[in-house]
Chain A
Amino acid sequence: MAQASPPTGTGPLARREARLAWQLLLPTITAVALVVILPLLAIFWISVKPVGLSDLRAPEVIAREDIRGDTEAVGDAANIRYRLRNSSQDRPISGVSLTDTIPEGLAVQELDPRCALDGRALSCTFGEWEAGFRDTLLIPVTIEQAYLDNDLRPQDSPVETTGSASSVLTDATFTFENFTRIFSGEEFFEVLWVTLFYTVFGTVGALLVGLFAALLLNKSFKGQGILRGLYLFPYVAPVIAVAFAWLILFDPFSGSANALLIQMGITDQSINFFGERPLALIMVTIFEVWRYFPLSFLFILARMQSIDSDMYEAADMDGASPFQQFWYLSVPQLLGILSVLFLLRFIWTFNKFDDIFLLTGGNAGTRTLTVNVYEQAFAISNIGAGAAVAVVIFCCLLLFSILFLKYISQEEGL
């Protein structure tokens, strides 16, 4: 009798299951690869290229066509005029050519040596154009009756031009200037410091305020659902709406907050909350705490409600005071969720862009790394430098993620 042995390797059923799984995942993988992975690779590529905003439009041949001279009667002489130029001031175009159709009834008298006429089809080749090159091409014609009848001008038929130019995005020029530019000087370290301040205090503040709110609502009473819904408002509302509401509330000239402070006698002169160092940074951090405490509140509350209440009754029997119960029973139970929230919020706060951008635009000492990406790329029009900052952000993120997966993911079974 043959020895019975268990099957090894993957069987046909398992293979079918795996194949189905990959089929189900394929659309997601494709979409994510196109919109996330590809741009991520692109940002590394752009960060070593000297790209400005103006380089995004590829150089092209611009042609304007019109007819000059008398075109009133048969036999009149006129010129078809093409005004041509290279749209780029710093990049040449090679292989420039032009094709056009000359309308019926215009008899071409003389042809530019660069052009050829086949029936009514005109084609010209110009070769290579320097950066900023301009040219005018004149084709003398005489008017015939058909032209007057047709009422078709030369400019009515579109001019087709060709020409290829190398783009700085695809050619082989590489530079580390973007990185040296962002790392040199005091500014980078200030940006880094601001980012860390904002991230650390924003995260810790949101956690503590969220914990306080969760303690408040961790008992059932009438209206608890309404209050919970209310406390989530800041998180649910569009950032643009709440950011502008804050700006108007704290406006230095006609904001209610200043009016209130003056009336209460706390200050006798209005305070420019979002326009002064270091107050602006503190304010955007408070805004961050305000906007995101609901999230920590929600998670901490969910965890609190899953803690067994027997333990508290037992502690009560043993004479533990409420603060002792909180410190020795609740806090250890909440430590897991608190650390997960801390790390996740830390990463997301580090990556936050819209809030600061809308509140201060990165002015008054509130420029974080993310705002710096925008600032470099669009305000200074240096896309390469913006990409270099983005690379720095991405590397920090990678570091945090490794920490996250290493220490936290076991904790919550993520």
Chain B
Amino acid sequence: MKMLRHNAVTSAILGALWMVVLSTTIAIVMSFATGDPFRPHILLSLIWGGSAGVILGRDLGGRIGAVLVAVAIAAACLLGLGPLLVGVEASAFSASVAAILLALSFVWSSVLILNDLPTGGLTRHEFEGAVIRFLTGFGYIFFTAIVLIPFYVMVMTSLKNQAELMQNPLDFSIDLSQGWALFRSYDELFTQFNFGTYLFNSFTISVLTVFITLAFAIPGAYAVARLRFRGRAAFSRSILLIYMVPMIVLALPIYIGFSMTGLRNSLWGIVMIYPVTTIPVALYMLQGYFRGLPAEIEEAGLMDGLSRLAVIWKITLPLSLPALASVSLYIFMIAWNEFLLAFMLLDDPSRFTLTRGIASLNSSEIPRQHLMAGSVVATVPIMALFLGLERFMTKGLTAGSVKG
């Protein structure tokens, strides 16, 4: 352990590992962007990264030294002896972009990681600081990659056709010369597969669910948060329990009941069910918020002769608008994303919701870019809503404990 804590050793090890991370990342990024073959060479990455780490870690030659290292790495890549191997099919342009990108990003980030390491032996503090900077860099790359890649693949697949995809599954470059024809799968979804109706159905159902849920949850949450009655504690615990009952357990009896009463295949049936699954969550989130509001304002209202209901309407609700916004958003998201009940209860294509509609696209006869285009159509509105109101949303999520 002690041996590791020497500038040269630490720099060499961190540099070598960092080069593996970066060359893999750049190889994946360039492959996805151009479809050309790029691959990292692990052994060469270790060697190049290790030696570059030693030079950069000791700040040999200062700024000029760093530039020289960058040039050496880029040149090695282009000559086929570097950490990143470029296939012969790749164009000279994309090969040089990859080489320069790798060289610059490596030198720049290694200087940051190995920044304030003194020469010679390191204290534990300095050593761990460098390791943490390395892990942080790795973390950013890792999380961004795992989050973005599936969504990137989703969007890009929806813009390509089956033949192009089969030919080179790595090529996600887009032929912009097609113009609007790029969006043909979206066009077909709306003209041939009825997605306009599904979008409308999903939207209506989600909005109705939000309103019905709030209508039930606001009075309930207020009662639990403010009023004293026997069984209050038991009630707030049973809310939590109900909120844990798995949907699949309820889905069977609901399916049977709906089959017998003819509510299956009707959007009204869905609108009856969804709010009940969200009421416990909403009630739980709201009561937490109501409890945090100062009771004195409400008491002042009561003193001034308002009834309880008037107090809720005129004092509590205006004060809790941010909470209402986050709860509404969260419920909207649950209703919009719901799949199981829609899948079990709706068979008639004219009454599908968006998620049910996408499930129906999953067949061997329908090309997969339609499936992905459908997924994009379902994802984009919720993402837009979420990014626009992220502040509310995260607050709502943390307030509402964990539903999923």
Give Cα A117–Cα B40 distance, bound, in whole angstroms.
92
A36 interface neighbour in B220, B245, B386, B393, Cβ under 8 Å:
B245
B79 adjacent to chain A (CB < 8 Å)? no
A264 and B40 within 8 A (CB) = yes
Nearest CB of chain A from residue B257's CB, rounded to whole Å: 7
Q: A145: which B residues are within 8 A, CB to CB?
A: none
Chain B residues, CB < 8 A from A212:
139
- Measured in the bound complex, the distance between the Cα atoms of B144 and A229 in whole Å is 11
B190-210 vs A, Cβ < 8 Å mask (1 yes, 0 no): 000000000000000000000
A113 to B250, CA, bound (A): 50
B253 interface residue (CB < 8 Å to A):
yes
Assess A169 versus B256: contact at CB under 8 Å? Given A17-B228, A241-B379. yes
**B350-394 interface mask toward A, CB cutoff 8 Å, 1 = contact, 0 = none?**
000011001100100000100110111011001100110010011
Using CB atoms, name the residue of chain A closest to B376: A241
A90 to B102, CA, bound (A): 73
CB-nearest residue of chain A to B264: A56
Of A238, A292, A348, chain B has the most CB atoms within 10 Å of the CB of A238
Q: Mark B319-346, 1 if CB is under 8 A from A, else 0.
A: 0000000000000010011011000000
Q: Decide: A31 near B387, CB < 8 A? Known: A40-B249, A344-B401, A353-B246.
A: no
| Residue pair B378, A240 in contact (C-beta under 8 Å) | yes
Please tell me if the beta carbons of B402 and A28 are within 8 angstroms of each other in the complex: no
Number of A-B pairs whose CB atoms are under 8 Å? Answer: 283
Expressed in whole angstroms, the minimum distance between the Cβ of A240 and any Cβ of chain B is 5
When the two chains form their complex, are residues A27 and B220 in contact, meaning their CB atoms are under 8 A apart? yes
A17 and B227 contact, CB distance less than 8 A = yes
Task: Decide if B237 touches A409 in the complex (CB within 8 Å).
Answer: yes
**Distance in Å: Cβ of A42 to nearest Cβ of chain B:** 4
- Report the nearest A residue to B157, measured CB to CB: A248
Range class of the A interface residue count: 35 or more
**B223: CB under 8 A from chain A?**
yes
Number of interface residues of B (CB under 8 A): 106
Whether A20 and B223, one on each chain, are in contact in the complex, defined by CB atoms closer than 8 angstroms, is yes
* SS of B interface (majority): helix
Does the CB pair B246–A39 fall under 8 Å?
no
Shortest Cβ distance from A51 into B: residue: B256
Contact with A21, one of B132, B227, B382, B397 (Cβ below 8 angstroms)? B227
> Does A172 reach chain B (CB closer than 8 Å)?
no
Q: Which of A290, A295, A401 contacts B146 (CB 8 A)?
A: A290
Contact of B149 among A249, A370, A393, A409 (CB under 8 A): A249
Would you give 29 A-B contacts (Cβ < 8 Å), ordered by A?
A: A21-B229, A25-B220, A27-B215, A31-B279, A36-B276, A39-B252, A39-B253, A40-B250, A43-B252, A46-B252, A225-B390, A227-B140, A228-B394, A237-B379, A238-B355, A241-B378, A241-B379, A248-B371, A249-B149, A256-B172, A259-B170, A260-B28, A347-B244, A348-B404, A353-B246, A387-B253, A390-B249, A397-B246, A409-B240
Q: Which residues of B contact A (CB under 8 A)?
A: 24, 27-28, 31-32, 37-40, 124-125, 128-129, 132, 136, 139-140, 143-144, 146-151, 153-154, 157, 165-166, 168-170, 172, 215-217, 219-220, 222-224, 227-230, 232, 235, 237, 240-242, 244-250, 252-254, 256-257, 259-260, 272-273, 275-277, 279-280, 283, 308, 333, 336-337, 339-340, 354-355, 358-359, 362, 368, 371-372, 374-376, 378-379, 382-383, 386-387, 390, 393-394, 397-398, 401-404
